[in-house]
Amino acid sequence: MLLQLRQLPILFLLHPILALSVPMVDQVQRAEELLSSHWLSQAQTQLRERLARTKDSIADVRQAKNVVMLLGDGLSITTLTAARILKGQRRGGRGEEAQLAVERFPFTGLSKTYCIDEQTPDSACTATAYFGGVKTHSGTVGQSGSGERVDSVLQWAQRAGKATGVVTTTRLTDASPAGAYAHVSRRGEELEIARQLVEEEPGRNLNVILGGGLGKFADERRDGKDLLAQWRESNPNGCFARSLKELRNCSDATGTLLGLFSDSHMSYHLAASKELPRLCDMAAAAIEKLERKSQEDGNGYFVFIEGGRIDHGHHETRVGYALDEMLEFDAAVETVIQMTDPRDTLVVVTADHSHTLSMSGYAKRGTPILGMGAQQRDVNGVPYSTLNYAIGKWQSLDKDGRRESPSKTLSPTSYTPSYIHGRKGVHSGEDVVVFAMGPQSHMFGGVMEQNLLPHLMGYAACLGNSVTLCNQDTDADLTA
């Protein structure tokens, strides 16, 4: 008897082995998904649908002069919740009642993060989606699945005459910040990414560049290039900083701002020297610089600010690091709110992908989020922590392979228990949150494909050649 398609989900529940034996409908890569035009057109269709859905209910005619995009790398919903509790507990409260800066944003949505070849994405294909509006292969930055160059929304902003900046706590050549300016088929080509940042558009036109990764510009190179020297030669009025003090001393400089605060990724905040800037310090310096440039030419700015080491804490399955980095990100969001005007500045906060952190059990109100409740025990009476990972380095097992209480090893920087033994923590594929405030922020509600994000920002700020607030009644080029 032939199976009806509508019966398959029930049969899979009753007989899971059927899920392995029945051919899937769409296992072959659709050729159109390899093309930039497919994803750009798809995003524009979503944009027009949102315009039709909201035009009668919300009358927001404001154009965004400035756009601030903040990305928490690996910022899952569980991370948000746990960090909120930690924030409150650090202040002496029970924790659950605390509030993160993003909770004051009026509009919230969900973003679907898959790549064209993976259910669970990496930070390269996601960067190409939320910067360039095109979904691509895992590991690919700034190129479509067929190898076409994909321009980022920062380049759209530069073409509109806006000042631009990139700020991160990772190497500036890491996948997420690289999505703003680079075009490589493999994210590991960081020496080439560094070259593109200094020598090619839009990287060489950035007004603010702050993060880590000095080694990729000089010491680690084997091609004889000294990219830092090249940058100085190309920016004779620029200001270069290696510390918080030097960053502050650059505040009066008239030229481009470059800060490289570590040879590789910047240190975790919990382990960092006080001589180095925090993410909120870099965010403040960037907005101050870009706002001054905007006042000179009147065109506004676009800046990308990333809390990149949330993801690294999760990969190490050290939840104390991850949550502290999330609170550093929260401080940066608060800084941006205080320094910008929602009447002319669109602020968007989101993540590239999720992580496998879970918050489980029935811990009593006020239980330390990095600890465990006394009543939380498994069937053998062994206590378990509130926060755990699905996959990671450490399983909290005794020498005989039996699970033991993690209480002796729990600390802000210790490994967090995981269920499956892996070399490191891994990403997870569920949707991530999008928060928005400012002009046209109502467009960011509901569930969306991740590659819609730059089109929404472009719509609000009149960037790019597709449908925007300034040309929505015209026949714009949907694939531009």
Kindly state whether residues 185 and 169 are assigned to the same domain. yes
Kindly state whether residues 273 and 291 are assigned to the same domain. yes
State the alpha helices, DSSP H only, in 250-346.
279-297, 309-315, 319-339
pLDDT band, very low/low/confident/very high, at 208 (cuts 50, 70, 90):
very high
* Residues whose CB falls within 8 Å of the CB of residue 334, separated by 6 or more in sequence, listed in order: 101, 280
Kindly state whether residues 307 and 391 are assigned to the same domain. no
Q: Regarding beta strands 357-359 and 432-437, do their DSSP bridges make them parallel or antiparallel, or are they unpaired?
A: unpaired
29: in domain: no
Share of residues in the chain with pLDDT > 70 (%) = 91
Cα 196 to Cα 184: distance, rounded to the nearest angstrom: 10
Kindly state whether residues 84 and 201 are assigned to the same domain. yes
Kindly state whether residues 201 and 299 are assigned to the same domain. yes
The domain total for the chain is: 2
438: in domain: yes
Cα 160 to Cα 164: distance, rounded to the nearest angstrom: 11
pTM of whole model > 0.85?
yes
Is residue 111 flagged as an active site residue? no
Kindly state whether residues 257 and 405 are assigned to the same domain. no
Cα 280 to Cα 336: distance, rounded to the nearest angstrom: 8
26: in domain: no
**Closest by Cα among 350, 309, 355 to 449:** 350
Asked whether the predicted pLDDT for residue 439 surpasses 50, the reply is yes
474: in domain: no
Kindly state whether residues 269 and 328 are assigned to the same domain. yes
pLDDT tens per residue across span 75-90: 999 999 999 999 999 9
| Structural domain harbouring 284 | 61-356+433-461
Q: Is 174 annotated as contributing to ligand binding? A: yes
Q: Regarding beta strands 301-307 and 66-72, do their DSSP bridges make them parallel or antiparallel, or are they unpaired?
A: parallel
The catalytic position among 123, 144, 262, 385 is 123
Kindly state whether residues 419 and 335 are assigned to the same domain. no
147: in domain: yes
Contacts 24+ apart (CB under 8 A), 381-385: 383/407, 384/360, 384/417, 385/410, 385/416, 385/417
Find where tokens 């949330």 sit.
310
Q: Is 315 annotated as contributing to ligand binding? A: yes
Q: Regarding beta strands 354-355 and 427-428, do their DSSP bridges make them parallel or antiparallel, or are they unpaired?
A: antiparallel
Kindly state whether residues 405 and 456 are assigned to the same domain. no
Kindly state whether residues 89 and 212 are assigned to the same domain. yes
Find where tokens 């210790």 sit.
414
Q: Is 328 annotated as contributing to ligand binding? A: no
DSSP class of residue 291? H
What's the mean per-residue pLDDT of the chain?
Answer: 92
pLDDT (0 to 100) of residue 7: 42
Q: Is 297 annotated as contributing to ligand binding? A: no
Asked whether the predicted pLDDT for residue 356 surpasses 70, the reply is yes
Asked whether the predicted pLDDT for residue 4 surpasses 50, the reply is no
The full DSSP string for 185-208 is SSTT-HHHHHHHHHHSTTGGG-SE
Kindly state whether residues 180 and 233 are assigned to the same domain. yes
Kindly state whether residues 332 and 414 are assigned to the same domain. no
